[in-house]
Amino acid sequence: MTYESTTFPHEVLGLARREALQTAGPEVEQVTVIERQREEWSQELERCLSQLEFSVLPEDPLQCGADLGDALSCATQAWFERFYPQGPSVAEKQLLPEAWLGAMCDTLEATALAIDEWVQFAFLAWGDHWLPDIVAQLLDGQAEYDVEDLYADFVADLPRFQTLSRISALRSSLRHVHDEPPQAHRQKVSPIFGPPRHPTAHTKIQQAVPRPYGEQEEWSARLRQCKFATMPTIAACPLYRTLPDIPTFLFVHLFSGRRRTGDFHMELQNFALQKNWRVVILSLDTAVSIEYGNLLHHTVSWRALEECYLAGRIAGTLCGPPCETFSEARFTPPPEGSDHWPRPLRSFAQLFGLEGLSARELRQCHTGGNFF
């Protein structure tokens, strides 16, 4: 190839590279090594297949083939009867391929035509279809092995057989070799650690998120180990007020339930009337008063009550908090067909609430726990 100098066309002279429009060039279809190899194999396969075609055939191929087959069979049978059952020597074994070759030569001489390719074809056909029956009739294992071994060695030297072997190899290669589409780059898979993972997949949480609700068992266990270092002394009972000669106690009945005839409130007052002291009783329950009986933490009642307790004004307390979330009845199996039945919300180990409770159940536990 010769090169010569030239100048840019007038239209593009002075244009900078970035000012030029990029144009789509011709598509270049790159030929891979495997594709090139397939092409070579395909061409070779075509050549081999063309070699199998017969240029010259005998006048009567069927009869000629039958005669050749009979001659080969007779030669094989004669060789077997001559050397078995005693078995042939190495030199004697070679007499069989020579007999086969003699039969093929006789056929060639008889036709006076260049039918070498067809004779090879006829011999291979005899070996594929007739020889197995002949070998099967020998009734001598060693003879069967020897005949097949000699046949294999003999046909390996035939050009037609070599061409057939090459065709088989080429077809197999073309069938199994494909161009794989290019894959994205990936890290090699370690036989020990497996495929690569996200960097955070190998990280471990070294410090668990503290969750007091989930650690209540440990908390309870630690609390059970606690011992009182000193025992408190009994303090004197506080009097709410002291009227002249009549002491008065302040008594609180929490979760008292409704006021009724013969309840604790009434009975305590009756007892007090028989004594030389009086008692102011606060029966606190929502069934008695919504305003004063609401004992939740944030209510005015509870704050006032707390102030009384912390000032040491209350002489006595009777407390019967609701037991609904602690109730033994929650462990009773529901009747058939019942879809609303209270289930256990607590256990000995998880007294403040089991795991997996609904929001409503958690609220129930929270309320019951606060009362407790």
Partner 1 sequence: MAAHIAYGGIFVAEHPAPPFLEERPSIWTSAVVQTLLQLPDLVLHRVQQYRWGATAVKPTGLLAWNLPFFRKDLYSLSLPDPVKPDTAAIGKDDQGNFRTSKHKEYPKAFCKALAFVVAQQFERFVRSHGTRSCPAAPEVLDQWIAQAAAASTPVRDDSHWLPDFQHL
Q: Which of residues 218-257 bind partner 1 (CB under 8 A)?
A: 219-221, 223-224, 226-228, 231-232, 234-242, 247, 249-251, 256-257
Shortest CB 297 distance to partner 1, Å? 16
> Beta-carbon neighbour count of residue 125 at 10 Å?
14
Distance in angstroms (rounded) separating the CA atoms of residues 269 and 229: 39
Q: Does the footprint of partner 1 cover residue 320 (CB under 8 A)?
A: yes
By C-alpha distance, which of 271, 268, 264, 270 is closest to 288?
264
Number of residues in contact with partner 1 under rule CB under 8 A: 98
Shortest CB 186 distance to partner 1, Å? 52
Pairing label, strands 241-243, 246-254: antiparallel
Do the Cβ atoms of 278 and 247 come closer than 8 Å? yes
Shortest CB 331 distance to partner 1, Å? 7
Nearer to partner 1, 94 or 269 (CB): 269
By C-alpha distance, which of 264, 273, 372, 255 is closest to 319?
255
Distance in angstroms (rounded) separating the CA atoms of residues 239 and 253: 17
Nearer to partner 1, 185 or 360 (CB): 360
Q: What is the DSSP string of 119-137?
A: HHHHHHHHHHHTHHHHHHH
Q: Does the footprint of partner 1 cover residue 272 (CB under 8 A)?
A: yes
Q: Does the footprint of partner 1 cover residue 335 (CB under 8 A)?
A: yes
Of 17-25, 144-152, 199-207, 261-269, the segment contacting partner 1 by CB under 8 A is 261-269
* Out of 340, 355, 356, 359, the residue judged to bind partner 1 by CB under 8 A: 340
* Out of 43, 165, 317, 370, the residue judged to bind partner 1 by CB under 8 A: 317
- φ, ψ of residue 36 to 5 degrees: the values are -65, -40
Of 56-64, 83-91, 161-169, 342-350, the segment contacting partner 1 by CB under 8 A is 342-350
By C-alpha distance, which of 239, 318, 241 is closest to 283?
318
Query: Under rule CB under 8 A, which residues in 277-306 are in contact with partner 1?
Result: 277, 279-284, 287-289, 291-293, 300-301, 304
x/- track of binding to partner 1 for residues 147-166 (CB under 8 A): --------------------
Q: Does the footprint of partner 1 cover residue 315 (CB under 8 A)?
A: yes
Long-range (24+ apart) CB contacts under 8 A made by 289-292 are: none
Shortest CB 253 distance to partner 1, Å? 8
Nearer to partner 1, 169 or 351 (CB): 351
Nearer to partner 1, 188 or 360 (CB): 360
Shortest CB 279 distance to partner 1, Å? 7
Question: 301 Cβ partners below 8 Å, 6+ apart?
Answer: 284, 291, 292, 293, 294, 295
Query: Under rule CB under 8 A, which residues in 31-70 are in contact with partner 1?
Result: none
Shortest CB 207 distance to partner 1, Å? 26
Distance in angstroms (rounded) separating the CA atoms of residues 139 and 160: 31
Distance in angstroms (rounded) separating the CA atoms of residues 149 and 133: 16
What's the burial of 137, exposed, middle or buried (CB within 10 Å: 0-12/13-18/19+)? exposed
What's the burial of 353, exposed, middle or buried (CB within 10 Å: 0-12/13-18/19+)? buried
* Out of 105, 322, 366, 370, the residue judged to bind partner 1 by CB under 8 A: 322
Query: Under rule CB under 8 A, which residues in 170-229 are in contact with partner 1?
Result: 219-221, 223-224, 226-228
